[in-house]
Structure 1
Amino acid sequence: MDDFEKRRIEFYLEETDQITEVWGGESSGDENVVENDNRSDHDTDSEQSVYDLEYDHERDEITVNEMDFDNSYNESDDDVPLSMRVQYFVGKDGTKWFRKNPTQNIRTIKQNLVTEKSGVKGVAKNAKSEMESWEIFFSNPIIETIVKCTNIYIAKVRCNFSRDRDALDTNNREIKALIGCLYIIGAIKGGHRSTLDLWKTDGLGAELLPCVMSEKRFQFLLRCIRFDDIRGRDERIKVDKITHIRIQPDGPFKLDNSASSVVKRLVQPFRNTGRNITTDNWFTSVPLAIDLFNNYKLTLVGTIRKNKRQLPIEFTSIKNRPIYTSYFGFSEDKVTIVSYTPKKNKIVLLLSTMHHSSTIDESTKEIKKPEIITFYNCTKGAVDTMDKKTENYTVARKSCRWPLTVFYSILNIAGLNSQIIFQENTKIKMSRLNFLKTLSRQLMEEQLKYRLTIDLLPKTIKFRLKQYATKTNEAAGTSQRVRASGRCAFCERAKDRKTTKVCTNCARLICRDHLIETCPDCFIDM
């Protein structure tokens, strides 16, 4: 056996050793691993060797042919600059990006899989009303903290008022009513209307608002509401710049708030699940993508900023770039980058550890968008959808205090998430507008009952309070009849017994066999 034959055999033995799973371990029938023949739509390359080998008789050694990179682009070689006709590119930090995927013969794990059953989990399953769903996000301890910090500030500014009654302390009941007012104002899209207009009693304002509190008190509470103890803020702000809106646990400790650390903390519940994470250019980086892929078993797709040191200058340059062209780069760490030109003098950079080919989405026709971009556009919409839904009925009002602006945003998100939980638990379909109105009334209910006991209120407000109390009692008496029909919560599923009656306490559906009749006197004693 000559030397060439020995080297050829050694080469193929080494190549065979490299055919392992991307995330390690031996393959078995129980693991979520597929061969290239069964790849997902995002893994469209066929299995082939990385290099074509030939023997150089003059030099008596194995040499590697130049790679054929025509398939890595969506334009002909005549349109490709000379600087792009190389077998790999080098970033500023020395990272190599091959024009053709150097790891095409490696098995890939099934990616972007969701095997868990979707739905509400944990304590959220017990929420059966709008108020209970909302209190998952604004629990009583949070309300009590707001009340405590607000009263500390009120005590500080009370000396500026000539009458003590103009700067009275607040309580849980009043803070909930304040939040209910904000939800009502957002529901009628009155965030930019003056409070004087909203509190008018001539029929042009929101009739329920004057019943809850006076316009003057509403303005006072918004000015005084605080979320931290102002007495120790100067010390805390040295280690936490946003201490105005959050409480740090007792230390000492140090928490990294860099973009990559934030992502890794957020994805911790999904570790080793094989899902995909979509990020924008603030969070996306090559080291983060590699770390998530190797240590978290998660793929990442996201836009990336062109100032990253790992990116080659050929991918960030816009000079002489024809529109609708795409340049691909593949690293040995299973990271793919693409530089796409959607219009003249503009490029879009994306990174992916889920895609390992230079596939162009055929549905985009002459625009020739890479599949990475179309996948990113399909998965980035969750945040945009949430922003759109919260902005429709936002509670935000004009303010020069950024902690209050953050508080408005938290209220918007809590209102949306509580509706999702309520609908999942009760199967009652309700528009966002009706949900916010119902939630705001439930937040105001305790305050309205208290105001009804005050004798010095104006007669018009007293009359409206009594009207509201009557309507509330009537609604409570007919609540069982407006519930959609469904299966009894206590009967066996095989019986499939439908009913429209619900428990007045937990809102679960109950049939006649499980309905317990109680007189008013016994009900009070229960």
Structure 2
Amino acid sequence: MSKGLSDAELERLLYADSDDEIGEFDVILSDDEESGGEPEINDEESDLIECESDSQGTSVEQEQQESMDGGNLFYKSKYGTQWSKVPYPQTRRGAKDIIKNKQGITPYSSNFTTEIEAFLLFMSDNILNILVVQTNRKAEEVIRQWNEKYPHKLQRTWQLTDSMEIKAYLGILLIQGALQATKEPQKILWCTDKKYVRRKINDKLAPIRVFDLFVQNCIMAYSPGSHVTIDEQLGSFRGRCPFRIYMKSKPDKYGLKIWAMADSKNSYSINLQGERVVLDLVDPLGTVYGVTTDNFFTSLPLADKLAEKKLSLCGTLRKNKSYIPNELQPKLFRPEFSSMFAFTKEHTIVSYTPRKGKAVILLSTEHHDDTVADEKYKINPHIILHYNDTKGAVDTTDKMVKQYSARRIYNRWPMAIFGQLLDIAALNSFILWDIKYPKIKKSKDDRRYFLLQLGESLVKEYIVRRYNNSGRLSKTLRQYMRDVVPDLASPPVENQNERLVKSGRCYLCDRNRDRKSRQLCKECQNFVCAEHHVKEVNKNASLCSILEDDYAQYERKYDS
């Protein structure tokens, strides 16, 4: 700015209305932006922009002189968009900057008292009913086809499943995820051998009928804070799928990409979409929220559309955007940790130089000044500090989900997406639980204990029913059930006298004697003759459990 310019002249220049002078900025859209699409550029392009040589042959000294010229108060982009070098005066706060909503649990989700009730806010009864109906339909269809293909073999039948069994299945998956044992064989999961026990002590988505219902439950259960983050999630999947993608920057490389919106503070997943539509993701928010995006989404037209909804935008820009002034592009003469700003009445662009010849360019409609903060001797603009604080919510969700993921190796992509929804439901329920019942001293294992308790709660009801109604369970399986549900310590009364064989050989006598009996030991339910029933079993009830695996050894001891 020239020293001879008065305040009145500066105000006249900033608020001039004629086209001959400095007018209101006019956004000039490129062809791909006018059509509403995204430019075909790798969405993993780095935010750090390198300096390129000037094709017009302008010297570095000339560019520096033009950039530092104080006589010109405006930058002008390639296609005529004009930006002020100084902030516009702010007389009052905009409507999109006034926070009115309260963060936290909504009335819809405020009445839960147990882990399973928090989980069922997301995996609600209507979702479970769809799973039951579709599982029974598919199973009956497969069995019917098999019976028609092999009519000479024993015909198969299907016992209808119900919501209790589905919840037990989900509970087992959650327990596997909490124990990080999704790739372990099923027998090891129920094994009591210490060497196998792990941590016990310490549109395209049309086939996923429950997707929209699940998203609606996530929206109703939580009111987000002042800022949200929009980014992609990549669910690992290497099977056959028409929209499987490859992303070299992700740990899993191959998978199914879903766009997600999460709370910037606690990484609660608010909304999910199968397509690249920011406006659809923010639609349930209402007004007065800040949205953080990466350079795949951030653009001036998107900022204007969000402003119409009274939402602010902050995100990185790609260097090929036509509305970025050339002066804000990376330059070799710009010193490290320096910042350059450009303003309109509604937008702010900052170009930050972390090192020579490189720059990071951000667009914000929430910030309207050129303030910077000295953070460890690196002078960072407030826009960049705000972006760093709010950009990682979706990535944090991915990290937390993968830590205790309940997903197994699936060959069908709908199951892969359902596994991803199950992980998000478990994480969201834990976040709600932590909000309603906070701990003074938190531990890194709190979430794992929550998942174990949730899994056992989902499985318990089905275990009780199966234990009481099934008469052909092995002793080992019954013991496992009693370990999970201690209330089942005594055998059920209705099954004590149910035996397929009415009589049998006394298990305490030598096999050569071949003594048949109809009497049962009250302790172990084995056949015993009258002699052993009177003399040994009733006098020493623990004798059965001691000798049930070694009859011959006892017989030799008894005869001696």
* TM-score with structure 1 setting the length: 0.60
1:14-45 deviations in Å (ceiling 9; x for gaps): x9xxxxxxxxxxxxxxxxxxxxxxxxxxxxxx
| Residues 1:267 and 2:250 are matched in the alignment | no
Give the structure 2 partner of residue 387 of structure 1.
398
Of residues 273, 290, 308, the one that matches 2:321 is: 308
> In the superposition, relative to structure 1, how do residues 308 and 196 fare at CA in structure 2: closer, same or farther (>3 Å)?
farther
1:457: how far off?
Answer: 1.8
Structure label with greater radius of gyration: 2
- Residue 412 of structure 1 is matched in structure 2 by 423
The residue that corresponds to 1:436 in the other structure is 451
- Cα distance, 1:79 vs structure 2: 10
Is the partner of 2:342 in helix, strand or coil?
Answer: strand
Deviation at 1:182, TM superposition (A): 0.9
Say if 1:325 and 1:341, in contact at 8 Å, map to a contact too.
Answer: yes
Contact (CA 8 Å) 1:301, 1:351: kept in 2 or not?
yes
Give the counterpart letter for 2:177 in structure 1. G
Counterpart mapping for 1:142-161 below 5 A: 142-158=127-143, 159-160=145-146
Query: Are the counterparts in 1 of residues 205 and 211 from structure 2 also a CA contact under 8 Å?
Result: no
Structure 1 position 416, deviation (Å): 2.0
Q: Distance in 1 between matches of 2:121 and 2:14?
A: 61
Matching residue of 2:509: none
What is the deviation of 1:436? Answer: 0.7
Q: Which has the higher helix share?
A: 1
Question: Which letter does structure 2 place at the counterpart of 1:49?
Answer: E
**Matched residue type, 2:300:** V
SS where residue 480 of structure 2 aligns?
helix
The structural deviation recorded for 1:337 is 1.0
Shift of 1:328: 1.8
Does the 8 A contact of 2:401 with 2:424 survive in 1?
yes
Aligned match of 2:552: none
Segments of 5+ residues of structure 2 without an aligned counterpart are 1-6, 23-59, 148-152, 213-272, 491-560
SS of equivalent residue, structure 1 residue 369: strand
Alignment of 1:344-363 (within 5 A): 344=356, 346-363=358-375
1:164-199 deviation digits (Å, cap 9, x = unpaired): 669654321221111101110111111343445435
The residue type paired with residue 244 of structure 1 is P
Q: Deviations over 1:327-360 (max 9, x none)?
A: 322124x201112232355432211112222222
Aligned to 1:244: 207
After superposition, the C-alpha distances for 1:225-249 in whole angstroms (9 at most, x for unaligned) are xxxxxxxxxxxxxxx2221224699
Q: Deviations over 1:93-133 (max 9, x none)?
A: 432222223x2264444875544444322221111111111
Match for residue 339 of structure 1 among 351, 376, 387: 351
Find the counterpart in structure 1 of residue 86 from structure 2.
100
| Counterpart for residue 519 of structure 1 | none
Q: Bigger shift: 382-391 or 452-461? A: 382-391
Counterpart for residue 328 of structure 1: 341
1:435-474 superposed matches below 5 A: 435-452=450-467, 453-470=469-486
Question: What does 1:29-178 correspond to in 2, within 5 Å?
Answer: 49=11, 51=13, 81-82=64-65, 84-85=67-68, 87-101=73-87, 103-104=88-89, 106-109=91-94, 112-158=97-143, 159-160=145-146, 169-178=160-169
For the residues of structure 2 that align with 1:197 and 1:444, how far apart are their CA atoms? Answer: 18
CA distance in 2, matches of 1:166, 1:200: 30
Question: Structure 1 CA distance, aligned partners of 2:165 and 2:409?
Answer: 22
Amino acid at match of 1:284: T
Q: Which moved more, 1:115-124 or 1:460-469?
A: 115-124
Instruction: Please tell me the residue identity of whatever aligns with 2:189.
Output: L
Match of 1:349, SS state, is: strand
Structure 1 residues 52 and 296, CA gap change in structure 2 (3 angstroms): closer
More strand by share: 2
Say whether the 8 Å CA contact 1:277–1:301 is kept in structure 2.
yes
CA contact (8 A) 1:50 1:104 kept: no
2:57 maps to none
Question: Would the alpha carbon gap of residues 465 and 80 (structure 1) be closer, same or farther in structure 2, given more than 3 Å must change?
Answer: same
Aligned residue for 2:172, secondary structure, equals helix
- Structure 1 partner of 2:386: 375
Code of the aligned partner of 2:374: E
| RMSD (CA atoms) | 3.9
Displacement of 1:283 in angstroms is: 3.0
Q: Give the Cα–Cα distance (whole angstroms) in 2 for the partners of residues 355 and 435 of structure 1.
A: 40
Question: Aligned partners of 1:178 and 1:119: how far apart in 2?
Answer: 30
Question: Are 2:349 and 2:361, in contact at CA under 8 Å, matched by a contact in 1?
Answer: yes
Q: Label 1:97 to 1:260 Cα distance change in 2 as closer, same or farther (>3 A).
A: farther
- Measure, in 2, the Cα distance between the counterparts of 1:121 and 1:356: 33
Closer/same/farther in 2, CA of residues 63 and 384 from structure 1, 3 Å limit = closer
Amino acid at match of 1:448: I
Q: What SS does structure 2 have at the residue aligned with 1:368?
A: strand
Q: Is the 8 A contact 1:263 1:283 kept in 2?
A: no
- C-alpha distance in 1, partners of 2:320/2:186? 47
Aligned to 1:292: 306
User: Which position in structure 2 is the counterpart of 1:277?
Assistant: 291
Residues 1:282 and 1:165: Cα distance change in structure 2 (over 3 Å)? farther
- Partner residue in 1 for 2:516: none
Q: Is the 8 A contact 2:127 2:210 kept in 1?
A: no
Quickly say closer, same or farther: Cα 1:258–1:360, change in 2 above 3 A.
same
1:60-105 deviation digits (Å, cap 9, x = unpaired): xx999xxxxxxxxxxxx9796345345433345432222223x226
Aligned length: 367
Matches of 1:406 and 1:466 in 2, distance apart? 34
Q: In structure 1, how many angstroms separate the alpha carbons of the residues matched to 2:481 and 2:290?
A: 53
Letter paired with 2:299: S
CA contact (8 A) 2:332 2:356 kept: no
Asked whether the 8 Å contact 1:290–1:335 carries over to 2, the reply is no
Letter in 2 for 1:456: R
Alpha-carbon shift at residue 291 of structure 1 (Å): 3.0
Kept after mapping to 2: 8 A contact 1:338/1:351 = yes
Change (3 A) 1:171 1:350: same
Name the CA shift for 1:462/1:356 in 2 (closer, same or farther; >3 Å): same
Structure 1 pair 364–201 and aligned structure 2 pair: CA distance change class (3 A): closer
Distance across 1 between alignment mates of 2:412 and 2:439: 38
Deviation at 1:414, TM superposition (A): 1.3
Residue 418 of structure 1 aligns with an amino acid whose one-letter code is: S
Q: Which moved more, 1:348-357 or 1:155-164?
A: 155-164
Structure-1 separation of matches of 2:447 and 2:67: 53
Aligned mates of 1:150, 1:320 — CA distance in 2: 66
3-state SS in 2 of match to 1:361 = strand
Amino acid at match of 1:386: T
The answer on whether the counterparts of 1:49 and 1:105 sit within 8 Å (CA) in structure 2 is no
Residue identity over aligned pairs, in percent, reads: 32
Q: Which residue of 1 aligns with 2:407?
A: 396
